[in-house]
Amino acid sequence: MKNKLQIYFVTGISTDVGKTIVSAILTEALQADYWKPIQAGDLEYGDTHKVQDLVSNSQSKFYRNAYALQTAMSPHAAAEIDGIKIELDKITIPISENNLVIEGAGGLLVPLNDSETIIDLIKPKYKVIIVSRHYLGSINHTLLTVNALKEKALDIAIIFNGKEHPSTESIIKKMTQVPILGRVDEEAFFDKNVVKKYAEEFLCAEEFQNYFEL
């Protein structure tokens, strides 16, 4: 791996599309650190706990949420219930000597407050991995997500999650012209072994190697 440290932001085309599983696979494959800036709900066993339980390597570090909100709903609404307001200048990236995987919340336009959304967390230097899961409307959501990121001239790639759908994947690839890094198939369960298997498979893929400069 090249010496330059890199930051990777994992976003999704919607909620519950597999961002946490993909984040775990990337964290394992890259032996990167992991950070979820905003956790809304499930505080006793949130996404950071889940990724930590799915990662095998001893290199990765896991950082505390900048905001840990009690209610599982849009961050702006969950923050209002907690009597606070999410402020971007209070979301400070952890100081790390390692590559860092950042997991977003929901999709790019999920509100953080009255004027800012998840996309405002993404800095120009970040590489962005979109998790796309197939459902009726997912092509539209994927193209909208890609276009929003292209408007900011960000470095983008896609990972598909779920059962293969060739026509959907083909048109997304043709219309976006961004790298497709691979797919996470439907699995009965995910544990350390399954995540490690995917990490090893991804590491062998040329598109993955090129995107992550391995």
| Residues tagged active-site | 36
Q: Which two tokens stand for residue 52?
A: 């930590």
C-alpha distances in Å from residue 37, one per residue of 104, 105, 158, 165: 7, 9, 21, 32
Cβ(86)–Cβ(40) below 8 Å: no
* Residue 31 · residue 202 · CB < 8 Å: no
Distances (CA, A) of 175 to 131, 183, 207: 16, 18, 18
CB-CB contact of 128 with 11 (8 Å): yes
User: Which class for 191: exposed (0-12), middle (13-18), buried (19 or more C-beta within 10 A)?
Assistant: exposed
| 42: Cβ contacts below 8 Å, ≥ 6 apart | 72
Q: Rounded distance, CA 56 to CA 123, Å?
A: 29
DSSP letter at 65 equals -
